[in-house]
Chains A and B, each alone.
Chain A
Amino acid sequence: MHERDEQGRKGRQGASGHGESGRGSASFGALLVLASAALVAVLAVTAVRAGDPAPPMGPGSPMGPTGSDVHTTLAPGSGVDPMTQQGQDHLAKAGFGRKHTPSELIFPDQTIPLRFSHAKHVDLVKCTECHTEIGSSLRAKDRNLPKEAVCLDCHDQAAAARGEPTDPPASCETCHPGFQPKWLPGADFTDTSKVEVHPPAIVLPEAHIKFNHKTHLDKGVGCDRCHKSMGELDLATRDNSLPIMATCIDCHDGHKDGKSPNSGAPDACKTCHLTNPDGRIDTDLPGGKLVPEGWYFMDAHDDNWLQSHRAVASLGEGGCAACHTQKECIDCHNGVQKPLKVHPNNWILSHTIPARRNDPDCSSCHRSQSFCVDCHTATKVVDVDGSRPPTGKTFHPAGWVEFRDETGREVPAQGIRGENHHSFQAQRNIRACASCHTETSCIACHGAAGDNVIARTFYRITPHPNSWTRSGDCVRMRNKNERVCYKCHTPDAQAMRCDSL
């Protein structure tokens, strides 16, 4: 069929003096083959890379800490220490693809210029022995890191500074990688503030979320429910130790009979997310726009979201309203002016092909009879008052309404419809017709009313399918709304009985 379409188009274009017909089809085939080959190659390469085992991060692993000395913890060949941020960054980047890690918008980038291994500590001390203030922390912005004095309870830094052996190791460099203190005159090494230059400070920006450690601890939620596998971690960073949303919604599921022992915690977005005064999530965070990435729901706001959001939005259960107002829907769906990103440049000139294919679905934002007709009339695409456009050009190709017999002679209302016949276009997408024509255009030929001489005596072309009366469509539609019947039929017409056609 397509070949025939192509031939028809070539013929038309040849007649109009343009020899560009069919271009792109042959080359497109070759392009498809090349693209497919490239796609397979890329998939194969990335699958192999993605399938590579991730570098182990725990103790005893080739890259994990093998001893208590600074110089023995470097991963072979990597030159990085997994107890440091550099080491963790290196490990994080070693894999291929995007990791489902905590959002950097919720937890902005942190700087932790320390050398520390949770794995070495969690079996020796309780979490609250170091994080002493965690039980009274009410807000996510609280900085619940242990103070240096807590570390020095075990790490006898003063002794190390005096050159005495210590266990555990306690030199400044043990925790502050590369830091060599220059003590102020008279310093006795017990007060670490008495140095000329201090080691780099920890930077923990405020988290953009609501969280109350006290409430959770009081309810018996253990640390490891949210901060998982700390016993296997060296330096704890945002990516390896802070919770992702799935951890929260294990308990914050809104119903008591969930799989988690703490199920039934409130599941409203505002329970955890910062909100605007109207209750919507504040998505405009300092690090950028907070948008779903599709980890939990088919709502990733990605390259195809403008076209694909229909399925999610049509659930109509308030998911979109958690972040968006009606204004944002109306801007596109009832907008007189669309955001420019919706369509590519020069859309007005080139929209005919997508519109005929209804891809994207025009009716999502434009109704044929209340939008398209206006514009097509103003630009004289539509015949006005029966007149042709000024240049005499016709919008439709030859063969649009004619019927021909076997010899090619035009015959009225019967015979062969050519491939350009409007009936085929109408059957494929009648919305395209309705973007220029009102019902009066159709009735002129298809109407069966008594005063429609042309239709009655010349064309007599019924628009109804063959099975119209037998299928019950006639009775059903007449019973639901007979007004539409009267546009073509008189009330006393036999056709109104739906027993024959």
Chain B
Amino acid sequence: MIACATAPEAAAIEFRIEAQTRGDAYQLVTSGNEVLNRNRLHQYLGLSLYDIEGSGESRWSFTSMFRFDVDFGLSDAEIERVPTAGRSQMSIQYASLEGHDLLGGLLEVRLGRQLLADGLDYLMFDGAVVTVNSPWYLGLEVMAGAEVKNEMWGINDSQLEVDGTRYIKGIEENGDKATLAFGAALVTRNLDYSRYRLAYRRYFSDGAVDQEKIGGTFHQRIVEGVDLSGVMTWDMFNARFERLQYGLRVRAGDAHEVEAEYVRTSPSFDGDSIFNIFSSLPMNDLNLRWRLYPGKNDRLYAGGKLGLAGNEAYQGDVLYGNVDTMVIGWGAMAGWAHGFGARGIDGRISVDFSFDGGYAGDRLLGDVSGVWAVVPREWELEARLTALAFDDAVQENLHAFSFGYQVGGRYLIDKRAAFALVAEHNMNRLQTQQFRVFALIDVDLWL
């Protein structure tokens, strides 16, 4: 705002106002067959200013997004039962001043509340990110700030808090203390088909480490049509890989494409959490997907997946188990999508099937969805049918066949406003009738 006030040419400033009202109402049935009503309203308000100050290619801008949440469905008893729940809450989702292409493209800065998403994690924080771009294909990104925590002073609502500790007033001692974070990353710039990022980040509070990670992310085109990507995150607190992910995508001719992925995860928690202490073994997932493009508007896919999860195998004097050291989950999926008109602007229909079996339970899903542009770029109708059979392997009695449908529509006004309404109805043995209604009013104005 200060920069705005000092801008020499106020007329050049572009203002953007975004207002989005979302409401939904649905019902949940508890294990005791109580019906809980959820009637929620969420109001977003975004205020942004662009080209606040600029000379040549450099640009300054300010972006912000506020959110107000209200839950009309929670009773007093429910609020009491869920300590962190409340009927209404105001939050700043982000509010930052950004400078791009400063000093001839050498420098970029972002100050304020912001979201940082990279291979290490998601982080919502109040602070700064400064990026220095060198002329030698490398940039250095440095960040520092305080993690946004729900129980801290301010108007906060973050679901991205480092996981593992649940703040309960009067019991937890550290939940409302500031967690500081700093980090740095080396990133490649201006390479045609190679992108690499090596990052380090540390979170700490009261002198103790909450999380410390180092990791790399890359994308590399091997040859045209063959691409490789990877994410590797080493958790320095637990001394183990939190995530290893490798993906390969091969395009074979005009019609075929194959995508393969391996993901290995071991969850990390806040350093204050004892969830880090328990022995855990990584989950390994292999995914394979083949796509066929008969033409520009059609796509078929089929795939399979395999999940491997471990059990500890040690035979100590205290604990030993009588199960194998590996459990297996598997799955298969297939689908078809067709667009009508150029790029599916007149409508599209999708049919998807999937099956999951093995570890955790069985799940068979069939889903048909379609969108029809009654008046392209103005009136759209959508519908969806879902049939689902599932059988949970752990919870007794949690198995059912569920059938549900959605119907809805969207009205667009000159790309500046939209109104959408969707209703969902599900039927099954456990929840005989379940309804959900979702409505949205979206306004996006440039002044």
Contact of B254 among A50, A379, A430 (CB under 8 A): A50
Contact of A379 among B16, B28, B357 (CB under 8 A): B28
Q: Are A397 and B396 in contact (CB under 8 A)?
A: yes
Contact of B394 among A356, A369, A482, A488 (CB under 8 A): A356
Q: Are A50 and B256 in contact (CB under 8 A)?
A: yes
**What count of chain A residues pass the 8 Å CB interface test?**
162
Q: A12-B396, A316-B187 are in contact. Are A365 and B159 (CB under 8 A)?
A: yes
Residues of A close to B169: CB separation below 8 A: none
Beyond known contacts A326-B115, A367-B159, A484-B276: 19 more, CB 8 A cutoff: A39-B290, A104-B343, A278-B14, A278-B16, A297-B219, A304-B289, A308-B247, A314-B197, A315-B118, A327-B46, A349-B428, A363-B163, A369-B161, A379-B30, A389-B32, A428-B311, A438-B166, A480-B208, A483-B206
Q: A297-B219, A417-B319, A418-B322 are in contact. Are A337 and B42 (CB under 8 A)?
A: yes
* 0/1 string, A169-199, CB within 8 A of B gives 1: 0000000000000000000000000000000
Q: Are B163 and A370 in contact (CB under 8 A)?
A: yes
Contact of B395 among A397, A434, A488 (CB under 8 A): A397
Sample of 29 A–B contacts (CB below 8 Å): A4-B324, A31-B332, A35-B334, A277-B16, A277-B446, A278-B14, A279-B100, A298-B249, A329-B115, A330-B65, A334-B158, A345-B384, A345-B402, A345-B405, A348-B28, A353-B356, A353-B361, A369-B166, A371-B159, A373-B166, A374-B84, A390-B32, A393-B396, A395-B31, A423-B312, A430-B280, A434-B163, A481-B271, A484-B272
Q: Taking the complex as formed, is B51 at the interface, i.e. its CB lies under 8 A from any CB of chain A? A: yes
Q: Taking the complex as formed, is A30 at the interface, i.e. its CB lies under 8 A from any CB of chain B? A: no
Contact of B283 among A327, A425, A429, A461 (CB under 8 A): A429
Q: Taking the complex as formed, is B296 at the interface, i.e. its CB lies under 8 A from any CB of chain A? A: yes
Contact of B396 among A13, A303, A340, A483 (CB under 8 A): A13
Closest to B300 in A: A42
Q: Are A477 and B276 in contact (CB under 8 A)?
A: yes
Q: Are B428 and A370 in contact (CB under 8 A)?
A: no
Residues of A close to B36: CB separation below 8 A: 378-379
Q: Are B272 and A481 in contact (CB under 8 A)?
A: yes
Shortest distance from the beta carbon of A447 to any chain B beta carbon, whole Å: 9
Q: Are B271 and A416 in contact (CB under 8 A)?
A: no
Residues of A close to B234: CB separation below 8 A: none
Q: In the complex, A466→B314 CA distance in Å?
A: 7
Q: In the complex, A284→B377 CA distance in Å?
A: 10
Q: Taking the complex as formed, is A221 at the interface, i.e. its CB lies under 8 A from any CB of chain B? A: no
Residues of A close to B230: CB separation below 8 A: 311
DSSP majority for the B interface? strand
Q: In the complex, A297→B345 CA distance in Å?
A: 24
Q: Are A389 and B31 in contact (CB under 8 A)?
A: yes
Residues of chain A from 276 to 319 with CB closer than 8 A to chain B in the complex: 276-279, 284, 286-289, 294, 296-298, 302-304, 308, 310-317, 319
Q: A253-B190, A378-B81 are in contact. Are A340 and B273 (CB under 8 A)?
A: no
Q: Taking the complex as formed, is B185 at the interface, i.e. its CB lies under 8 A from any CB of chain A? A: yes
Residues of A close to B299: CB separation below 8 A: 302-303
Residues of chain B from 271 to 330 with CB closer than 8 A to chain A in the complex: 271-281, 283, 285, 289-296, 299-302, 305, 307, 309-312, 314, 316-324, 326-329
Q: Are A384 and B81 in contact (CB under 8 A)?
A: yes
Q: Are A298 and B388 in contact (CB under 8 A)?
A: no
Residues of A close to B137: CB separation below 8 A: 255
Closest to A329 in B: B115
Q: Taking the complex as formed, is B180 at the interface, i.e. its CB lies under 8 A from any CB of chain A? A: no
Q: Are A426 and B190 in contact (CB under 8 A)?
A: no
Counting chain A CB atoms within 10 Å of each CB, the highest count among B314, B329, B406 belongs to B329
CB-based closest 3 A-B pairs: A97-B254, A97-B255, A390-B32
Q: In the complex, A23→B160 CA distance in Å?
A: 38
Q: Are A98 and B296 in contact (CB under 8 A)?
A: yes
Q: Are A316 and B259 in contact (CB under 8 A)?
A: no
Q: A395-B31, A464-B277 are in contact. Are A345 and B426 (CB under 8 A)?
A: yes
Q: Are A330 and B93 in contact (CB under 8 A)?
A: yes
Q: Taking the complex as formed, is B117 at the interface, i.e. its CB lies under 8 A from any CB of chain A? A: yes
Q: Taking the complex as formed, is A66 at the interface, i.e. its CB lies under 8 A from any CB of chain B? A: no
Contact of A1 among B164, B327, B364 (CB under 8 A): B327
Q: In the complex, A423→B290 CA distance in Å?
A: 37
Residues of A close to B388: CB separation below 8 A: 344-346, 350
Q: In the complex, A384→B81 CA distance in Å?
A: 7
Shortest distance from the beta carbon of B233 to any chain A beta carbon, whole Å: 9
Residues of A close to B103: CB separation below 8 A: none
Q: In the complex, A392→B44 CA distance in Å?
A: 42
Q: Are B190 and A267 in contact (CB under 8 A)?
A: yes
Q: A326-B65, A429-B309, A465-B279 are in contact. Are A16 and B164 (CB under 8 A)?
A: no
Shortest distance from the beta carbon of B438 to any chain A beta carbon, whole Å: 6
Q: Taking the complex as formed, is B342 at the interface, i.e. its CB lies under 8 A from any CB of chain A? A: yes
Q: Are A369 and B309 in contact (CB under 8 A)?
A: no
Q: Taking the complex as formed, is A71 at the interface, i.e. its CB lies under 8 A from any CB of chain B? A: no
Q: Are B390 and A434 in contact (CB under 8 A)?
A: no
Q: Are A340 and B160 in contact (CB under 8 A)?
A: no
Q: Taking the complex as formed, is B410 at the interface, i.e. its CB lies under 8 A from any CB of chain A? A: no
Q: A380-B31, A434-B164 are in contact. Are A96 and B210 (CB under 8 A)?
A: no
Shortest distance from the beta carbon of B221 to any chain A beta carbon, whole Å: 8
Residues of B close to A487: CB separation below 8 A: 274
Q: Are B321 and A389 in contact (CB under 8 A)?
A: no
Residues of B close to A255: CB separation below 8 A: 137, 190
Q: In the complex, A97→B256 CA distance in Å?
A: 8
Residues of chain B from 237 to 289 with CB closer than 8 A to chain A in the complex: 237-239, 245, 247, 249, 251, 253-256, 259, 261, 265, 267, 269, 271-281, 283, 285, 289
* 0/1 string, A410-443, CB within 8 A of B gives 1: 0001101111110111111111011000110011
Contact of B310 among A286, A310, A317, A427 (CB under 8 A): A427
Q: Are A28 and B431 in contact (CB under 8 A)?
A: no
Q: In the complex, A482→B208 CA distance in Å?
A: 8
Closest to B282 in A: A428
Contact of A423 among B188, B189, B321, B328 (CB under 8 A): B321
Closest to A421 in B: B321
Q: A303-B335, A349-B431 are in contact. Are A395 and B395 (CB under 8 A)?
A: yes
Q: Taking the complex as formed, is B231 at the interface, i.e. its CB lies under 8 A from any CB of chain A? A: yes
Q: Are B295 and A480 in contact (CB under 8 A)?
A: no
Closest to A289 in B: B343
Q: In the complex, A334→B221 CA distance in Å?
A: 32
Q: A104-B342, A483-B174 are in contact. Are A277 and B85 (CB under 8 A)?
A: no
Q: In the complex, A315→B36 CA distance in Å?
A: 41
Q: Are B185 and A46 in contact (CB under 8 A)?
A: no
Q: A380-B31, A389-B30 are in contact. Are A317 and B187 (CB under 8 A)?
A: yes
Q: Are A316 and B197 in contact (CB under 8 A)?
A: yes
Closest to B312 in A: A427
* 0/1 string, A37-63, CB within 8 A of B gives 1: 001001100110111000000000000
Shortest distance from the beta carbon of A51 to any chain B beta carbon, whole Å: 8
Residues of B close to A483: CB separation below 8 A: 174, 206, 208, 271-272
Q: In the complex, A426→B190 CA distance in Å?
A: 44
Q: A258-B192, A353-B356 are in contact. Are A20 and B31 (CB under 8 A)?
A: no
Q: Are B377 and A286 in contact (CB under 8 A)?
A: yes
